[in-house]
Amino acid sequence: MSKRDCTYRCALITGASSGLGLEFARQLAPSVETLVLVSRREEVLEKVARDLVARFPHLTVKVFASDLSEVTDRGRLIGSLATEGLRPDLLVNNAGLGDYGELLTADWLKTSEMIRLNIEALTHLTHVFLPGLITQKGSILNVSSLASILPIPDFSVYAATKAYVTSFSEGLRLEVRDLGVKVLAVCPGPIKTGFGDRACRASTSKLPVQDAFYIPVEQVVQESLIALVQGRARIYPGLKVALAAGVIGLLPVVVLRFVMSFRPRKS
């Protein structure tokens, strides 16, 4: 593949060391000139970069270790990208954090970190790179969740942060649609990545999710990238999840409250 065949010149992916972020990097690698991978774990990112370049010799991979929940780290990342002349025409806001358990017993430091990462960092990076994305007629892909359309006990703060991501994406899409920028909210159901392990507290072993609803990470990313090219506003990857989202959207709020009151509270 030659560089002139690339769909994007520069794709920036947050949370790129594992899970969805890593899979986005793998599936985008054949069709971009430069991948900018951001995560806390620099050594892991370096290995990902070596593996991708070995498979795709045309590819340039830049890695940046950054804790995006910290505004100072975000400032250093933004400055480093500017210094190196890296101007993304695709922004994949994937980095996120969950916390499964009652708010009453939550660790506030983790809760605060989740809000800063899921909401503040995503909005900050979008704001910073939006002028360049407009100039280049680029795209923004925000990873939200099926949880964004549900009031979920024991996941109330996480679900609320994802409700912000979905609403923000929809509103921003209307702002920039006539400027040539595509904005997609990806709302997956449960995925077998490390997210669930990190979201669980010491008192729980796993999230109370039926195995039948799990979607392969490869399918989530593939459907998301297709939806982005198609200019769609929102996607629920996987037939079962999409059907569930459709049913949820038809239910009155009072019915949703009643149904969610019977959700399993312990794994």
- Indicate the SS3 state at residue 24: helix
* Residue indicated by tokens 């010799």: 57
Active-site positions read 158
Strands in 182-186's sheet, in edge-to-edge order, are 60-65, 32-39, 8-14, 90-93, 139-143, 182-186, 234-235
- Indicate the SS3 state at residue 72: helix
CA distance linking residue 73 with residue 249, whole number of Å: 38
Give the up-direction half-sphere exposure of residue 77: CA atoms within 13 A in the CB hemisphere: 26
Beta bridge partners of 10: 34
CA distance linking residue 78 with residue 242, whole number of Å: 36
In sequence order, the 6+-apart residues with CB closer than 8 A to the CB of 206 are 196, 200, 267
Max CA distance (Å), the chain: 55
Amino acid 14 reads T
- Compute φ and ψ for 142, nearest 5 degrees: -105, 125
Closest CA to 20 of 156, 242, 186: 186
Amino acid 53 reads V
**What number of helices (H) and strands (E) belong to the chain?**
10, 7
